[in-house]
Amino acid sequence: MKSAENIKKVIKNLDLDIDTNTQTDQAVLSELLDAQKKSMKQQSAFILPNIRILIMKNPITRVGFTAIVILGALLVIRMLVTPAKEPAERIVKEEGTPETVEGQHFEEKFNGEFSEVRQMAAVGDVKGLATILSEGKLESKLVAANFLAKMGKMPSLGRIPALETLSMHASGKLIVDNRSGSIRLRSTKSQDWLDITEGVLRVHTSQGSREAKLVRVTYDIKGDDEKWEKHKREFADWRQKRADLERELAQLGQNPTKDISRLRERLAKYNETLDGMDEAAYVTYENDRLKLSCPFRHRTAFAELCDGIVRVEWHGHIVGADSVTLLLALAPVRTDGPPPPVPGWRARFDKVYSLDDEEVLRWVRYPFIPERQIYATQEMPYHASKNPPPPGYIAFQWDGKLHPWTIAMHECALGSVLNAIGLKSYEIDGPEKLLGLKLGGDWIARRDVPTDDTLSALERILENGLNRKVRFEKQEVNRDVIIVRGQFKHVPLEGVKRPEKIYIYPDSWRHLNGPEPYSGGGTGSLIRLIKMIGSHFDRPIIFETENLSEITVSYFTSSSYGLAIANYKTREEKEKILESVLKNLSKQTSLEFEYGQRDQIVWFITELSEDE
């Protein structure tokens, strides 16, 4: 029992958030002790002589003896963990012998990394802990993250659920059903599944069954081997960027003047993107219900048994069914349709979502009225058939009637409002922090109103609502532009799946090459398509050609295009991408694209102090 007590002390000292009195963590301790008996025989030749030397050469004080106990227990834990190449969110592998855990083997030597982490924490070495967080073994990363959180250097992390998170792989459709009187989550093309057994969440894989408090369900996107290899390299690149951001955030203790909130937002975006890449959903067991969350799509569902039937609550709506299919990690639950509208809802909605005769801009702030979600499910094409969760914000245009113009799942910012009233990115110039000012709620702008009048109204709204004196000043400045000449003629690309489409793509981006795979697209005016490209690269478009206004095209944007415009870092890299995109667009449209300079109207954004 002394060994068990020693391990408990180490767990407490390492602050791994393990409750050594719960059934779950007693199983963890039992597993540690079983493995300890096997490994200590091999390690005794190394450990015991060194302990004897320490005892003989040093006074046996309470502090000294405690340090020896901790060191010995750390040796045991280090021998029990397997170096992992998985990302940090996959914290514990499934059960299995050392030879069956993804080809990895337990190391039979002590490398001292845990000891180094403790020493770094003891002296407040934030930079050293950040290095471990970025480059160390997975288990050491967890310990380093906990120390940083405890030191207040990474408060957004909270406490990492060490030794509690398991991974489950899914392929095909995700199904929630009733099996042997308990709720079960499984997929149609994978043998992994989870259920509730005697009030405990358990994951069942080919390696056995494990109890868990949090399960990350990873959707299997493997397909063509060559494409999958490209995806793996792309994922690895994004994971490295996230690790770099975590390290930068951890180092803020060395530079407190940096914008912490901005870094947190960037890190959250990378986490969201990686969850999207992995098609990840998170499963927990709360209040006798199975909670399924998809952070990438901002969706949550609760499943529970009621009279032997699985009932699923989907953002306030109850669906009763023996089996409920969740597509691609919580795509909209299939129901018979949206809930029936409440009588008189439209009159209440129109009273809030409209403009008075002299009003040109309205900000509908939180909290939203219930009729807003009814409008979304009744009037908006995407929402009308699928009953998804409420949008984060909606921008409307008004001409006596309401027209939804922009919809997003995230909170609105000042830059989004300016885009919604018709300003392109190259028509706006201001501090990034000011453009990112959060303006939670919906916006309604009157159509065919001079930009000056709309921006004056926006100034008044921000000053009255937030006491922020934001000002917009129009100036005519000389700017780099793209000049379009020639006559349109579609020349289909060879070797693509949809040659009737126009493909927007750079020659290459990182490990992606060519027009496919594509990640977006649409159908619309050719002029609008070209202006969209210009906006992505902050370049106004000057048309010195005729007969384009009536031309409508269908297009795809490649995955490489989306990643390139989101991740270029230097002006030179940006110009190289733009040149490549325009060259490929010219091949398909017969239009000529040239760089030039023209005088352009730009709105400069500033904020006055309270005294001004």
SS (H, E, C) 357-417: CCCCEEEEECCCCCHHHHHHHHHCHHHHHHCCCCCCEEEEEECCCEEEEEEECCCCEHHHH
| Residue indicated by tokens 């059960």 | 95
Q: Are residues 485 and 602 in the same domain?
A: yes
- What integer best gives the mean pLDDT of the chain? 69
Give the integer Cα–Cα distance in Å for 280 and 447. Answer: 41
- pLDDT higher than threshold 70 for residue 323: no
| Range scoring the smallest mean pLDDT among 7-11, 331-335, 421-425 | 331-335
At 334 the pLDDT is 30
Measured CA to CA, the distance from residue 321 to residue 313 in angstroms comes to 11
User: Residues 146, 92: one domain?
Assistant: yes
Answer with the residue of higher pLDDT: 200 or 278: 200
State whether 496 and 410 are in the same domain.
no
pLDDT of 255 above 50? yes
pLDDT attached to residue 252: 64
- What residues form DSSP beta bridges with 167? 216
Reply yes or no on whether the pLDDT at 452 is more than 80.
Answer: yes
Do 290 and 367 sit in the same domain of this protein? no
Beta partners for 443?
Answer: 363, 395
Residue 475 covered by a domain: no
Spatial separation of the C-alpha atoms in residues 474 and 225, rounded to whole Å: 53
Q: How many CB atoms lie within 10 A of CB 326?
A: 26
Q: Higher confidence at residue 15 or residue 113?
A: 113
pTM score, whole prediction: 0.46
In a domain, 210, yes or no: yes
Query: What is the tally of structural domains in the chain?
Result: 4
Looking at 55-69, 82-96, 334-348, 532-546, which range is the least confident one? 82-96
Same domain, 93 and 136: yes
Q: How many Å apart are CA 102 and CA 418, to the nearest integer?
A: 51
In this prediction, residue 82 carries a pLDDT of: 35
Q: Are residues 299 and 316 in the same domain?
A: yes
In a domain, 335, yes or no: no
Among residues 326, 354, 379, the one where a domain terminates is 326
What pLDDT, on the 0 to 100 scale, is given for residue 524? 86
pLDDT (0 to 100) of residue 64: 41
Per-residue pLDDT reduced to its tens digit, 378-418 = 777 655 544 456 678 899 999 999 998 888 877 889 998 99
Q: Report the Cα–Cα distance between both ends of the chain, in Å, rounded.
A: 72
Distance, CA of 285 to CA of 121 (rounded, Å)? 33
| Least confident window among 9-23, 122-136, 177-191 | 9-23
Contact 453/560 with Cβ under 8 angstroms? no
**Is 1 strand, coil or helix?**
coil
Q: Which of 98, 127, 157 is the last residue before a domain boundary?
A: 157
Assess whether 285 and 369 both reside in one domain.
no
Percent of the chain with pLDDT strictly greater than 90: 24
Same domain, yes or no, for 11 and 147? yes
Where does the pLDDT of residue 108 fall: very low under 50, low under 70, confident under 90, or very high at 90 and above?
A: very low
pLDDT at position 580 = 93
Question: What is the model's pLDDT at position 219?
Answer: 61
Higher pLDDT, 394 or 19: 394
In terms of residues, how long is the chain?
Answer: 612
Instruction: Decide if 259 is inside a domain.
Output: yes
Is residue 184 over pLDDT 60?
Answer: yes
Is 422 found in the same domain as 491? no
Helices (H) then strands (E): counts for the chain? 17, 26
- Give the helix ranges, DSSP H, for 111-224: 113-122, 126-135, 138-150
Average pLDDT for residues 35-39, to the nearest whole number? 41
Q: Does 334 map to a domain?
A: no
Write down which residue in 157, 185, 204 finishes a domain: 157
- What's the alpha-carbon Rg for the chain, to the nearest Å? 29
Q: Give yes or no: residues 317 and 385 share one domain.
A: no
Structural domain containing residue 544: 481-607
| 336 in any annotated domain | no
496 in a structural domain:
yes
Pair 137, 173 in one domain: no
* Cβ-contact 383, 377 below 8 angstroms: yes
pLDDT band at 601 (very low <50, low <70, confident <90, very high): very high
For residues 178 and 314, membership in a common domain is answered with: yes
- Any domain includes 470: no
Burial class (CB in 10 A: 0-12, 13-18, 19+), 123: exposed
Task: Give the pLDDT of residue 482.
Answer: 95
